[in-house]
């Protein structure tokens, strides 16, 4: 039993509606309504928290806590609402300005009557049991993850980003544990019984509640001082090869990112200290807690089998969270409707930083492959959301997160930088950081700063790029006479048919027998006559968006198709691959089968690792999503050997590995399976390929998915091979999802209805990937109704990315009209469903609907 489950049933049992206390001021209702946040931002100043938590080692034991909150009050007409999303039974004592006060608890708020308070300085003291929901308690460690509104699940507070405060923290923990928090450790001493120790941290910098954090447990520790700044790093990794290979790059990239940001913003690192922790199976990639950043351990610790993609992801992650120190932590959004502003700058800066920390990398190619497919995956769907969305209550902030803010927003920002020029743009950001340091700002605040530095119409630009969803679809008209171009015209409109234009720059390549001319197109309206093309010789063919910066669906010149491999620039090839896929998904230019036929010959000849990765993803997708089960064995019989030969032909170690993994991912047919089994069994990869422990776990799981003879013993052996305790627990959890007995999988799925079986969200997502694998689709499609029915509860109990990852891991491979009908039926039967969650379902269901439409059986 966890307190988490109990809490929710209680919260649900509370009535909603009018409350006795709402004589004036904002009504008392669950969550943190925007009206309440605005009123408190007006009324409160100089908030400071002092907390003491007694953390026992046993996960089930409650955490006793005391708290002092001091603040100044500028108005005192209505009851003060203190957020605490917990059971009223967790509150034991309240003292207001030194006097015992009654505990009045309504709709997740402790209410304090004006008569007990005064204008000016006030002090509250509380004794309570800390809420467990966001403490991520494990037998050996725990960590907080309080974004966006979960500080209030742990302790009573004013949980809104524009009431920044200092946090003084004391933790009493088992004596063998380490602890890290926002402020530096002041001192630590054993308790009288010697079994525990009390760690006292100095007050934090002035930060928002969602950035308050600590982690404690059995962690290893590394101290390095890159660039003279001491950085403490806590981790639980045990693989000595990974540790040896990763420590240097982690600290180097971290230091490089800090230096870049100090230069770019012209503002030194603004906080007292810079420490970080690697958390096993962390829910997100990372979280930018001031002075105590958390990272997903598996992204940081890589061995010598790491691919370029993994190395990039690590560098990106480190740079992203570091960029947040300025963008998000120093200058914070006033309300979570602008959460995307901190995310876009973190990603945008991470991209710029990677130019410095990853010398020799192809920045434009990385930007293209990182952001465009991910942004399109949402923006092409019926559930596409705009970058900026309204938010009435902080409890719904989780639904704002997604690919649009992480991937479309950086694309938009790069276009904005193009529009303004990089120096004017940078100077604008410097002013933004200077003006709002240690405070809060809105997107309109930033646009006002930028607008003053450019003649362009940023308001119109803002409307289509930021406030509306969707993307443009381009078309062209080419006129030639006497072997020369007389006119080349481009037009754009919304993919939804609307007469909208997205002001943007992109390139058009004129490809000739012996050279290529790339012409810039600065398209500010619905139509553009490309004068630079006129008078030039008629090309063999055209490549639209040849440099990859343009956003939307670009036309395909059919004459290009046989020449894909001849495009010299890697970014031009990648842009062409991506654009072909977008066209295919819209039923234009190529069918899935034609696209597969065009891409296959490229596999052995794509010299750029990021492009090969992209191609393999597309080929895998075409194989599983756009090929009917009955046709897969025939296709696999030629595609499998082709991948194997390509692996033997390519020279680069990482490319070999990507091809081997794609080969193992297909693995239909006895011969292929036997070959993969031998690799796994002997731990002997094909010549030139390096595999890590995680890779071998994937191979074992793949064999189990195919009911390979003795798969149970294979999984058992793999468990024995894994040394790291956290990863062993993970595979144990996954085993029933890998069973070839339908009843075992059914029972595992049924168990997911219980929130306590969903606590490790990264594990659940992996398990769903196995449960719903195309090879299991026939027996797992029946899980879809219940999977959809659980989404609302998952949003309530899970972390912010979980509804999305749950839906995507569930739906992504289905291709049958019946699966499509299940989703559509669900949406039809729930017309009043939470609109943001409905959009998430529509986003995740888009691949199902398209596959059902585009695969031959669906097309009948």
Residue 385 beta carbon to Zn ion: minimum distance, rounded to whole angstroms:
18
Residue 840 beta carbon to Zn ion: minimum distance, rounded to whole angstroms:
19
Nearer to Zn ion, 346 or 714 (CB): 346
Q: Is the peptide bond before 158 cis (omega within 30 degrees of 0)?
A: no
Closest residue to Zn ion, Cβ-based? 346
Nearer to Zn ion, 337 or 343 (CB): 343
DSSP 415-430: HHHHHH-HHHHHHHHH
Residue 343 beta carbon to Zn ion: minimum distance, rounded to whole angstroms:
5
Residue 342 beta carbon to Zn ion: minimum distance, rounded to whole angstroms:
7
* DSSP category for residue 385: -
The residues binding Zn ion (CB under 5 A) are: 343, 346
* Local structure of 738: helix, strand or coil: helix
HEC sequence for 646-705? HHHHCCCHHHHHHHHHHHHHHCCCHHHHHHHHHHHHHCCCCCCCCCCHHHHHHHHHHHHH
Nearer to Zn ion, 346 or 658 (CB): 346
Residue 328 beta carbon to Zn ion: minimum distance, rounded to whole angstroms:
7
Residue 402 beta carbon to Zn ion: minimum distance, rounded to whole angstroms:
12
67 vs 49, 51, 155, 274, CA distance in Å? 7, 5, 8, 26
Residue 759 beta carbon to Zn ion: minimum distance, rounded to whole angstroms:
23
Residue 287 beta carbon to Zn ion: minimum distance, rounded to whole angstroms:
8
Nearer to Zn ion, 110 or 375 (CB): 375
813 token code pair? 């491979």
Nearer to Zn ion, 254 or 787 (CB): 254
Residue 834 beta carbon to Zn ion: minimum distance, rounded to whole angstroms:
24
The CB density around residue 252, as the number of other CB atoms within 10 Å, is 16
Residues 332 and 210 sit within 8 Å (Cβ to Cβ): no
Residue 346 beta carbon to Zn ion: minimum distance, rounded to whole angstroms:
4
Per-residue burial over 274-309, b if 16 or more Cβ lie within 10 Å, else e, is: bbbbbbbbbbbbbbbbbbbbbbbbbbbbbbebbbbb
HEC sequence for 697-733? HHHHHHHHHCCCCCHHHHHHHHHHHCCCHHHHHHHHH
* DSSP category for residue 509: E
Residue 255 beta carbon to Zn ion: minimum distance, rounded to whole angstroms:
20
* Cα(594)–Cα(138) distance, integer angstroms: 50
Nearer to Zn ion, 404 or 589 (CB): 404
759 vs 133, 283, 574, 754, CA distance in Å? 10, 10, 38, 10
Nearer to Zn ion, 343 or 396 (CB): 343
Nearer to Zn ion, 33 or 286 (CB): 286
Nearer to Zn ion, 346 or 788 (CB): 346
Half-sphere exposure of 309 (CA within 13 A, CB side): 15
Helix (H) or strand (E) holding 20: none
* DSSP category for residue 559: G
Nearer to Zn ion, 282 or 623 (CB): 282
Nearer to Zn ion, 51 or 346 (CB): 346
438 vs 200, 208, 441, 456, CA distance in Å? 24, 9, 10, 30
Beta strands in 472-600 (DSSP E): 472-481, 484-494, 504-511, 516-523, 527-529, 541-544
Nearer to Zn ion, 142 or 346 (CB): 346
Could you report how far apart the first and last alpha carbons of the chain are, in Å? 50
Residues contacting residue 463 through CB under 8 Å, at least 6 positions apart: none
How far from the centroid of its chain's Cα atoms is residue 389's Cα?
Answer: 18
Nearer to Zn ion, 36 or 800 (CB): 800
* Cα(332)–Cα(345) distance, integer angstroms: 12
Residue 323 beta carbon to Zn ion: minimum distance, rounded to whole angstroms:
8
Residue 329 beta carbon to Zn ion: minimum distance, rounded to whole angstroms:
10
Nearer to Zn ion, 162 or 343 (CB): 343
Residue 260 beta carbon to Zn ion: minimum distance, rounded to whole angstroms:
17
* Cα(50)–Cα(183) distance, integer angstroms: 12
Q: Pick the closest to residue 617 from 405, 307, 299 (CA basis).
A: 307
């Amino acid at each position: 039993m966890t307190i988490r489950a109990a809490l929710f049933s209680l919260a649900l049992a509370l009535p909603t509606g009018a409350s006795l206390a709402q004589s004036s001021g904002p009504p008392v209702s669950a969550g943190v309504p925007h009206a309440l946040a605005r009123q408190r931002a007006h009324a409160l100043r100089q908030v400071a928290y002092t907390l003491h938590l007694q953390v026992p080692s046993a996960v089930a034991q409650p955490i006793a806590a005391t708290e002092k909150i001091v603040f100044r009050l500028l108005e005192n007409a209505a009851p003060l609402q203190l957020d605490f999303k917990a059971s009223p039974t967790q509150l034991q004592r309240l003292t207001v300005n030194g006097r015992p006060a009654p505990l009045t608890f309504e709709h997740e708020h402790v209410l304090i009557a004006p008569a007990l308070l005064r204008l000016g300085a006030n002090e509250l003291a509380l004794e309570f049991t800390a809420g467990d929901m966001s403490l991520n308690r494990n037998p050996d460690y725990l960590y907080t993850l309080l974004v966006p509104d979960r500080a209030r699940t742990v302790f009573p507070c004013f949980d809104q980003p524009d009431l920044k405060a200092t946090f003084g923290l004391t933790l009493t923990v088992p004596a063998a544990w380490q602890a890290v928090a926002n402020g530096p450790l002041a001192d630590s001493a054993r308790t009288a019984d010697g079994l525990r120790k009390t760690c006292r941290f100095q007050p934090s910098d002035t930060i928002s509640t969602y950035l308050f954090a600590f982690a404690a447990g059995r962690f290893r520790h590394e101290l390095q001082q890159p660039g003279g700044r001491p950085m403490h790093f806590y981790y639980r990794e045990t693989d000595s090869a990974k540790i040896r290979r990763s420590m240097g790059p982690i600290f180097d990239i971290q230091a490089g990112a800090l230096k870049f940001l100090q230069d770019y913003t012209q503002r030194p690192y603004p906080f007292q200290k810079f420490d970080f922790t690697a958390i096993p199976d962390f829910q997100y990639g990372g979280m930018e807690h001031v002075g105590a950043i958390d990272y997903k351990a598996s992204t940081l610790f890589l061995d010598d089998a790491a691919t370029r993609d993994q190395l990039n992801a690590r560098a990106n992650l480190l740079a992203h969270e570091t960029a947040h120190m300025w963008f998000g932590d120093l200058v914070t959004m006033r309300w979570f409707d602008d959460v995307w502003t901190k995310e876009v700058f973190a990603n945008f800066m991470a991209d710029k930083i990677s130019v410095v920390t990853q010398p020799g990398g192809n920045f434009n190619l990385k930007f293209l492959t990182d952001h465009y497919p991910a942004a399109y995956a949402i923006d092409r769907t019926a559930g596409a959301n705009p970058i900026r969305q309204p938010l009435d209550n902080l409890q719904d902030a989780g639904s704002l997160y997604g690919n649009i803010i992480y991937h479309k927003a950086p694309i938009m920002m790069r276009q904005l930088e193009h529009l303004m020029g990089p120096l004017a743009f940078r100077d604008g950001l410097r002013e933004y950081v200077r003006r709002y340091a240690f405070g809060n700002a809105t997107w309109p605040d930033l646009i006002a700063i930028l607008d003053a530095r450019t003649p362009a119409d940023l308001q119109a630009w803002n409307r289509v790029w930021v406030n509306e969803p969707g993307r443009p679809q381009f078309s062209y008209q080419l006129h030639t006479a006497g072997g020369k171009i007389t006119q080349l015209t481009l037009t754009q409109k919304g993919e939804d048919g609307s007469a909208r234009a997205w002001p943007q720059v992109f390139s058009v390549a004129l490809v000739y027998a012996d050279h290529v001319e790339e012409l810039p197109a600065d398209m500010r309206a619905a139509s553009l006559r490309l004068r630079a093309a006129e008078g030039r010789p008629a090309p063999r063919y055209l490549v639209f968006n040849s440099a990859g910066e343009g956003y939307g669906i670009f036309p395909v010149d059919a004459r290009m198709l046989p020449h894909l491999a001849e495009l010299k620039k890697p970014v031009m090839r990648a842009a062409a691959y991506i654009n072909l896929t977008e066209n295919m998904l819209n039923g234009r230019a190529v069918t899935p089968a034609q696209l597969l036929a065009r891409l296959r010959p490229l596999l052995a000849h794509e010299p750029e690792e990021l492009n090969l990765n992209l191609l393999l993803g597309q080929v895998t997708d075409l194989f599983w999503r756009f090929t009917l089960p009955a046709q897969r064995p025939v296709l696999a019989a030629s595609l499998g050997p082709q991948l194997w030969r390509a692996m033997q032909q390519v020279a680069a170690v990482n490319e070999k590995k990507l091809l081997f993994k794609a080969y193992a991912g297909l693995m239909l047919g006895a011969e292929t399976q036997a070959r993969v089994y031998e690799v796994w069994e002997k731990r002997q990869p094909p010549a030139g390929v390096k595999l890590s422990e995680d890779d071998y776990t994937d191979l074992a799981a793949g064999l189990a998915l195919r009911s390979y003879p003795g798969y149970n013993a294979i999984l058992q052996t793999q468990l024995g091979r894994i040394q790291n305790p956290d990863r062993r627990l993970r595979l144990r959890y996954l085993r029933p999802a890998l069973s070839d007995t339908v009843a075992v999988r059914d029972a595992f799925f049924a168990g997911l209805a219980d929130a306590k079986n969903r606590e490790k969200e990264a594990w659940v997502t992996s398990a769903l990937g196995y449960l719903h694998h195309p090879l299991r689709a026939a027996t797992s499609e029946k899980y879809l109704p219940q999977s959809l029915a659980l989404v609302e509860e998952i949003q309530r109990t899970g972390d912010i990315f979980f509804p999305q990852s749950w839906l995507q891991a569930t739906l992504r491979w289905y291709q049958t009209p019946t699966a499509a009908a299940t989703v559509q039926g669900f949406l039809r039967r729930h017309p009043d469903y939470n609109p943001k969650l409905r959009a998430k379902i529509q986003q995740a269901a888009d691949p199902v609907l398209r596959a059902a439409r585009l695969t031959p059986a669906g097309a009948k």
